[in-house]
């Protein structure tokens, strides 16, 4: 399927997805045409039987014709089976394609997008918003074709029977169309509101389940119940509002269809009294009115499905039209060989609220050197490190690796050479082996074990019931904080990058374990460029450089010995921490 331009009209984009399954679509449409033809034939055959076959005593022909019609309806039943199976299969494939494209696109979006959107809302976008697409993709083209052909065909036949009665329907039709268009907009708006409130329900559930331990620790279960009920009440109100709008629409369509039949019988009765129409033609015309009204009712029912599907599709397009803030240049190259020289040149950065986080940062780290970044919380230490792998782009200035601006390289190739152990360790639901292998998907079991040994976690893994195949639960809930931290360190050992970023890498460890892992980290750092964010200043004494970040600036830079002699901010931090540890 060719690349889709999501700026095009929504129906055109929808058609692109259906075009990806042309064979199933054509089977569905051919079956729909035959079904429509069978529906149109029966009233005509009835008229012919009453006008020709029965009055002329052509009974054998009559029963042959009835047998043919019976076979036609058997064929119609079989075709509806095909339409249901093939059509729904096509719908599922279209929904699956959209969900895949949405997930892939969300993988490309920048950190800033996830800073501004709740997980539960995004979960709703990728799941419930697309549930109705299957029905829309299947019934949309099929219903429009069957109903369109039936309406046009029945109108042509009715005009051929009696043009005066045909005009009655033509006059009533615009009223029905006008009513449909007005209510369609109301139903779409109401359905969009339902989708938004559904997303809020997802967000409330995700937040409550993720924080269930905190809620129980503070005995705040009742508070969580109240928060959920607030979201549930808003969803309930939006759903009730939607059904009111839908009820008005359905009742209006039912009234229009019923009135049309009453008008036809009334006007037809007058024409019959005047001798301008025969009883057989009036009966046949009445049958065609039913054939004419049924697709209108079917379209009215389909409109609910259409509104639900298009509301979800609109929210799908909203994300697909969201572009990553951090992108690769058109001429971006693959970063291959890395020596490890890192330089920050006049770097400034601010998040979307325009509050400065870093200003005029200058740093030069030689290949194989270790830079420690220290300072009070909120000073910009973590942001400084997140700019290196381009989780965010600098607002001004540049960051270079081996003398080249990092924006000259593709993001993927850049991040392959930067190993990060973040302060907030995330574990995937799965086994220990799966989580370590995340650092190098093609790694062998032997490499995984070696990485675990170097991260000082192998012995504890082997003491678990299933060893490396032990399940660790959602977000690694079955592990201690120290174990999760060491597994994340094992990932980086396995990745074996040229540049290391350690963001409070040992913050969750006890002193003894921290010392053992520090030896492993020192070994890993040999010959590699390392940037260490540290809270415990005792762990960065041997760093080649120590940068003190405070109030968006680097206020001090030098070795531990130089900064202690300077007796500035760093020396005060060291003395304050020494006192707190006594």
Domain ranges of the chain: 10-320, 329-417+498-582, 427-496
Helices in 444-510 by DSSP H: which ranges?
A: 445-454, 458-462, 481-495
Kindly give the parts of the chain with pLDDT less than 50. Answer: 580, 582
Neighbours of 24 (CB within 10 A): 20
- The pLDDT score that the predictor gives to residue 342 is 94
List phi, psi (to 5°) of 321: -90, 0
What CATH number should be reported for the domain whose range is 10-320? 1.20.1560.10
Residues 6+ apart with CB under 8 A from 81: none
CA–chain centroid gap for 411, Å, is 22
Question: What would the pLDDT profile of 14-54 be if each residue is shown by its tens digit?
Answer: 888 888 888 998 998 898 888 888 877 877 787 787 777 77
Q: CA–CA separation, 434 vs 468, rounded Å?
A: 9
Q: CA–CA separation, 206 vs 196, rounded Å?
A: 15
Helix (H) or strand (E) holding 81: helix 59-108
- The pLDDT score that the predictor gives to residue 379 is 79
User: Token digits for 578?
Assistant: 């020494």
CA–chain centroid gap for 79, Å, is 35
Task: Check if 329-417+498-582 and 427-496 are the same fold.
Answer: yes
Count of alpha carbons within 13 angstroms of residue 66, beta-carbon side: 10
What CATH number should be reported for the domain whose range is 427-496? 3.40.50.300
At residue 254's C-alpha, the angle toward residues 249 and 255, to 5°, is 100
Q: CA–CA separation, 568 vs 555, rounded Å?
A: 9
| CATH T-level assignment (fold) for domain 329-417+498-582 | Rossmann fold (3.40.50)
DSSP letter for each residue of 87-152: HHHHHHHHHHHHHHHHHHHHHHS-HHHHHHS-HHHHHHHHTHHHHTHHHHHHHHHHHHHHHHHHHH
Query: Is there a contact between 137 and 172 (Cβ–Cβ < 8 Å)?
Result: no
Question: What would the pLDDT profile of 484-526 be if each residue is shown by its tens digit?
Answer: 888 888 888 888 888 999 887 766 566 776 776 677 677 777 7
- The pLDDT score that the predictor gives to residue 472 is 86
């Amino acid at each position: 399927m060719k690349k889709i331009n999501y700026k095009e009209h929504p129906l055109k984009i929808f058609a692109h997805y259906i075009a990806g399954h042309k064979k199933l679509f054509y089977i569905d449409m051919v079956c729909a045409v035959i079904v429509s033809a069978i529906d149109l034939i029966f009233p005509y055959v009835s008229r012919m039987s009453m006008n020709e076959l029965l009055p002329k005593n052509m009974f054998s022909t009559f029963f042959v014709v009835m047998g043919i019609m019976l076979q036609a309806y058997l064929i119609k039943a079989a075709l509806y089976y095909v339409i249901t199976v093939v059509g729904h299969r096509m719908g599922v494939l279209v929904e699956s394609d959209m969900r895949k494209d949405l997930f892939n696109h969300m993988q490309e979006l920048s950190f800033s997008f996830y800073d501004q959107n709740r997980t539960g809302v995004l979960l709703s976008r990728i799941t419930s918003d697309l549930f109705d697409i299957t029905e829309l993709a299947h019934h949309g083209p099929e219903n429009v074709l069957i109903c369109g052909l039936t309406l046009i065909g029945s109108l042509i036949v009715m005009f051929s029977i009696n043009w005066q009665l045909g005009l009655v329907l033509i006059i009533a039709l615009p009223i029905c169309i006008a009513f449909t268009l007005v209510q369609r907009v109301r139903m779409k708006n109401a359905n969009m509101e339902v989708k938004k409130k559904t997303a809020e329900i997802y967000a409330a559930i995700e937040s409550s389940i993720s924080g269930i331990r905190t809620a129980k620790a503070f005995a705040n279960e009742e508070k969580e119940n109240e928060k959920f009920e607030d979201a549930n009440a808003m969803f309930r109100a939006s759903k009730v509002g939607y059904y009111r709008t839908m009820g008005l629409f359905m009742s209006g369509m039912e009234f229009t269809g019923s009135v049309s039949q009453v008008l036809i019988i009334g006007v037809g009765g007058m024409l019959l009294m005047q001798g301008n129409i025969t009883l057989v033609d009036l009966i046949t015309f009445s049958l065609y009115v039913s054939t004419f009204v049924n697709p209108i009712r079917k379209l009215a029912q389909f409109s609910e499905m259409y509104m639900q599907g298009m509301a979800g599709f609109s929210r799908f397009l909203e994300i697909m039209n969201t572009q990553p803030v951090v992108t690769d240049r058109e001429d971006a190259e693959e970063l291959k060989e890395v020596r490890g020289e890192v330089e920050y040149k006049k770097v400034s950065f601010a998040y979307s609220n325009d509050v400065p986080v870093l200003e005029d940062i200058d740093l030069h780290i030689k290949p194989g050197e270790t830079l420690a970044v220290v300072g009070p919380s909120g000073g910009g230490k973590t942001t400084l490190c997140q700019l290196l792998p381009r989780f965010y782009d600098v607002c001004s200035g540049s960051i270079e690796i081996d003398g080249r601006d990092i924006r000259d390289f593709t993001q993927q190739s850049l991040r392959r050479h930067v190993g990060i152990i973040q302060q907030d360790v995330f574990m995937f639901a799965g086994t220990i082996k799966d989580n370590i292998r995340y650092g190098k998907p093609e790694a062998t079991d032997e490499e995984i074990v070696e990485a675990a040994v170097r991260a000082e976690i192998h012995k504890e893994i082997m003491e678990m019931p299933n060893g490396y195949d032990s399940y660790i639960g959602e977000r690694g809930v079955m592990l201690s904080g120290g174990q999760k931290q060491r597994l994340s360190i094992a990932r980086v050992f396995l990745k074996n990058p040229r540049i290391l970023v350690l963001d409070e890498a040992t913050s969750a460890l006890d002193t003894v374990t921290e010392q053992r892992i520090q030896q492993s980290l020192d070994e890993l750092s040999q010959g590699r460029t390392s940037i260490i964010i540290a809270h415990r200043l005792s762990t960065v004494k041997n760093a080649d450089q120590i940068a003190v970040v405070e109030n968006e600036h680097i206020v001090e830079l030098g070795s531990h010995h130089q900064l202690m002699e300077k007796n500035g901010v760093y020396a005060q931090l060291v003395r304050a921490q020494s006192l707190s540890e006594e």
